[in-house]
Amino acid sequence: MASPLPPFDWDIFCCVVDNFGDIGVTWRLARQLRQQGTLPGHSNDIQVRLWVDDLTSFARICPALDPVQDGQWVEGIYIQHWHETLPTDMTPAKVVIEAFACELPAPFIERMAEQMASQPRPPCWINLEYLSAESWVEDCHGLASPQRVGNKSFNKYFFFPGFTAKTGGLLCEQGLIAERERWQQDKAGLAAYWASLDLPAPREHELRISLFTYESEALNSLVKSWCQSATPITLLLPLGRSLADVLRGAGLEQAMTTAKVGDLLHSGNLTIKLLPMTDQAGYDRLLWSCDLNLVRGEDSFVRAQWAGRPFLWHIYPQQEEAHLVKLEQFLDHYLAELPDGGSQWLRHVNLALNRGEDTAQWWAQWPDQVAIWQQHSRHWPTGLLKEGDLVTRLVKFLESRI
């Protein structure tokens, strides 16, 4: 007989979108809450339950997960398969988070309302929104939205991750930056890491680049520039959506149907190493080890910033180019302290990637811009964490609401 589940402090609901983006964020959130999410007036034995509608996709970034099981413990988190029928003995946690407006199931909301009869306060309901650097986020962060269920009413609060003190901040585990520093300064460890990928240590002046983006015509010209580079470049490429564009740019179209994990492909001065999907800790180590990271979406975008290395952001494309507005407003923050020359160059590179434009003229300026970009990348995370990370700000937000 299965052991009864404990009372949960946190319930997190996640619909898996685009395979890894939303679940990547919520899985990191669940693990950080398990370590640091002590609620006001409660014990330090924190219990977190994560509801996920697609366990198969989740398992690709969490190898310990069994997609067949309806409920299971992984790394101290209870993973519950979210489908139409809720467990009969389910009791909502003290804090309920719907990630990225995924909409809680109606029976769950009804049970939240029922708890009002037996508890002085209902569960605190948080809508964790997508990350944005847009200015309106500051005005909406923390706002309450009255909800009525039957004859009972309570609030749902909007919590916006962001880049300023007036937002919810960014996910960043305690000790992450120090761990990254140790990794990047450990020459023997880095050599062992490259060996684990069947690669030698980087040669003098060689660039190591990771690429995890969506499809983009801009990759054709960018990869072609890498093939023609005066210095050797090794591209670390997880098999995925950008593979065809990369191989086309490298003139390796013939490899599209046969490419597999572990392959080492060559074109001009570019070497392409095809990688498997990895867990999140493995992806962090990849970002920490490379000289430049091309990332996408939200989760890899944030992790690239903690890596302290130059990065380019391929934002999720939206209708009427709404994503470019979001990109520009992030760049307004990110580039504010760079000199005009470097600022304009980096803005153009990001926009060219996201518009699918020719990037050759911009990549040609990399040697002149890289030093100041590297310095900026090292300092950038410090400013983001001045007011605390997302979990710290979330717990503080809940102090008067639990």
Residues with catalytic roles: 22, 298
| Cβ contact 244:215 at 8 Å | yes
What does 117-181 look like in DSSP terms, one character per residue?
A: GTSSSPPEEEEEPPP---THHHHHTT-EEEEEETTEEEEEEEE---SSTTS------TTHHHHHH
Is 354 in a helix, a strand, or coil?
helix
Structure token pair of residue 200: 């030698």
Q: Cα 226 from chain centroid?
A: 26
- Residue 381, C-beta contacts closer than 8 angstroms, at least 6 positions apart: 172, 177, 305, 306, 308
- Walk across the sheet containing 207-211 and list its strands: 264-267, 270-275, 233-238, 207-211, 292-296, 311-314
Report the interhelical angle of 340-355 vs 366-384 (nearest 10°): 90
Q: In which residue are the tokens 């890596």 written? A: 307
What does 277-326 look like in DSSP terms, one character per residue?
A: ---HHHHHHHHHH-SEEEEETTHHHHHHHHTTS-EEEEPPP-GGGHHHHH
Amino acid at 237: L
Q: What does the alpha-carbon distance between residue 396 and residue 393 come to, in Å, rounded to a whole number? A: 5
Is 18 in a helix, a strand, or coil?
coil
Write phi, then psi, for 335 (nearest 5 degrees): -100, 0
